[in-house]
Structure 1
Amino acid sequence: MAKRVKLRKGQPTLRPVRADLHIHTVLSACADYRMAPPLIVRTALQRGLDLIAITDHNSGENAGAVLRAAEGTGLTVLPGMELCTREEVHLVALFPELISLLCWQEEVYEALPHLANDEAVFGVQLVVDEQGRFLGKNHRFLFAATDLSLEEAVRRITEIGGFCFPAHVDRPAFGLLTQLGFLPQDVDLPAVEISPRISCQAARERFPSLGSRVIIQASDAHRLEDIGLGMTVFSMAEPSFEELILASVGRDGRGVLGYGQLPGGQDLV
């Protein structure tokens, strides 16, 4: 485990922060029925995580429930969403507070096709409270591609005060590099996400276009068993949205220390 890093006078002490920034709940039809707020929080704590993000498909309706479930536990939860753009690229969008996510959600709902979810084919999309109690269903077809282009989505997320990065760029399905074949130079993407299926070094070798961008590894967990299997160990002053922004661009001593997690809690660098 990396040691605490002390910066010059006036700067905060940095420490390792274990983060899994791509986790689904029962709102995602493809997620396991156990992906309820209290179980997600408990599992994240058991895995030694300090920071997680809730990123359901094209919706943030369960993010607040997970934030409330984590209150007083020491786990920081960022409200977020996994957006599907017009190009069918998955984009993780994270926000500093729930209200910003809900504002973004309104725009996403407007950009979704007016289709109902076919529960017999895709599964149910459940809205729950912080204890995992059933509140209702989302009947929109949330797995659909929106009418938002990648460029437009990145611009709007940034304007609202959020931060985003392309999800699982190494995967053939919905990954930016497989969908577009390149990283757009006119879109501000300082960081990208890889899945647990590939190491950071292998990703840089396989995709030279990543250049010096910060690589974030996340689980894209749809089951409790997957939470923390892909994670990033950041150097931060604290687990917060503001510190994540600094670490994701390698600013003020923040950055990435390592990836993954072994059974003994060791970092897999």
Structure 2
Amino acid sequence: MKFAYDLHIHSVLSPCGDEDMTPNNIVNMALLKGLDIIAVTDHNSAKNLPAVLEVGKRNGLMVIPGIEVQTKEEVHIVCFFKNLQNALKLDEIIYNCLPDIPNKEEVFGRQLIMNSNDEIIGKIEKLLISSCSLSVNDVFILTRGLGGICIPAHVDRPAYSMTSNLGFIPNSLNVKTVEFSKKDSPESIISKYPFLKKYNYIVSSDAHYLWDISEREYFLEMEYLSFTNLINILCPN
């Protein structure tokens, strides 16, 4: 069966995320657009995942726990987990590896933690769009140790990508799938970066606004929706 997906969405926790990106708004917009599976991947944090997962479960939408990590090389990696607990374990590690730079709300926006009723229950004080002290290799090792998978994010972009900042994808990472952004067609991206043709790819929105969430346009072929099936597609043996 084919399932429509968007595996890179930000909530109000990301300082650059619009304040309409609440748990209920994200889930309801995804349903309105006909999506079957989404991942919420806030910058360097998983603290809005409890609310989003609860709302998704309540409304019959599969939500994958995720985090978009910014490594010390300023490379963005989206990390997906089978369960909330392991995502929160990486969240704690990342937070302790972030520099003590306070968020300036008037410049970057608020970093809001919400409950499943879209009520504000807290804020994160450290600036989440800083680079943590973990390397690309560290993030892959930690994520896999927690039973998760790593996907190099928006590899076609000229900044904050493995392609732009490292110039290559290290073979030692054993990457099977990369993420393309929606600004260009996959064909034009591969034409620009021929070495990417060896990888499988997904196309996600990196949505910071509700209207940016993908339509029912990108699909994954699975027998049924499960994290195990997702791993088998994104990280085949």
Deviations 1:145-177 (Å, cap 9, x if unpaired)?
011110111111011101111111111121110
For each residue in 1:181-215, what CA deviation from the matched residue of structure 2 results, as whole angstroms up to 9, or x when unmatched?
11112212111001001222222221112132110
**Contact 2:44–2:67, Cα closer than 8 Å, also in 1:** yes
Aligned to 1:186: 172
* Within-5 A mapping of 1:186-225: 186-225=172-211
The 2-side partners of 1:153 and 1:210 are apart by 21
Which of 50, 55, 59 in structure 2 is aligned with 1:69? 55
Code of the aligned partner of 1:36? T
Residue-by-residue CA offset, 1:66-103 (whole Å, 9 max, x unaligned)? 00011242210011100000100000001000000011
Q: 8 Å contact 2:78–2:152 — kept in the other structure?
A: yes
- Tell me what 2:30 maps to: 44
> What secondary structure, in the 3-state scheme, does the structure 2 residue paired with 1:181 have?
coil
Cα distance per residue 1:205-233 (max 9 Å; x no partner): 21112132110100000000011159630
Aligned counterpart for 2:141 among listed residues 152, 155, 162: 155
CA contact (8 A) 1:128 1:136 kept: yes
Are 2:128 and 1:142 aligned? yes
Partner of 2:151: 165
Whichever structure has more helix as a proportion of its residues is 2
Q: Does 1:94 align with 2:83?
A: no
1:109 aligns with 2:95: yes
Over residues 233-263 of structure 1, what are the superposed CA-to-partner deviations in whole Å (9 max), with x where a residue is unaligned?
Answer: 0100222211111111457xxxxxxxxxxxx
Paired-residue identity, %: 40
> Contact 1:169 / 1:177 at 8 angstroms: preserved in 2?
yes
- Whether the aligned pair in 2 keeps the contact of 1:22 and 1:54 (CA below 8 Å) is yes
Say whether the 8 Å CA contact 1:90–1:174 is kept in structure 2: yes
CA contact (8 A) 1:86 1:147 kept: yes
Amino acid at match of 1:192: V
Tell me, in whole angstroms, the C-alpha distance in 2 between the residues paired with 1:41 and 1:186: 36
- Give the CA RMSD over aligned residues: 1.4
TM-score normalised by the chain length of structure 2: 0.96
Report if aligned partners of 1:195, 1:230 keep a CA contact under 8 Å in 2: no
Which whole-Å CA distance do the structure 1 matches of 2:227 and 2:170 have between them?
25
Q: 1:206 to 1:44 in 2, by over 3 A?
A: same
Q: Distance in 1 between matches of 2:232 and 2:112?
A: 34
Read off the aligned partner of 2:200 and give its amino acid letter: V
Task: Report the CA distance shift for 1:58/1:145 in structure 2 as closer, same or farther (over 3 A).
Answer: same
Unaligned runs of 5+ in 2: none
Cα distance change, pair 203–246 in 1 and its aligned pair in 2 (3 A): same
Please give the per-residue CA displacement for 1:12-65, whole angstroms capped at 9, x wherever unaligned: xxx001110000000001011100011111100111100000100000000110
Q: TM-score, normalised by structure 1?
A: 0.85
Aligned 8 A contact 1:83 1:91 in 2: yes
Unaligned residue ranges in structure 1 (runs of 5+): 1-14, 252-269
| Distance in structure 2 (CA, Å) of the matches to 1:242 and 1:31 | 29
How many corresponding residue pairs? 237
Rg bigger for which structure?
A: 1
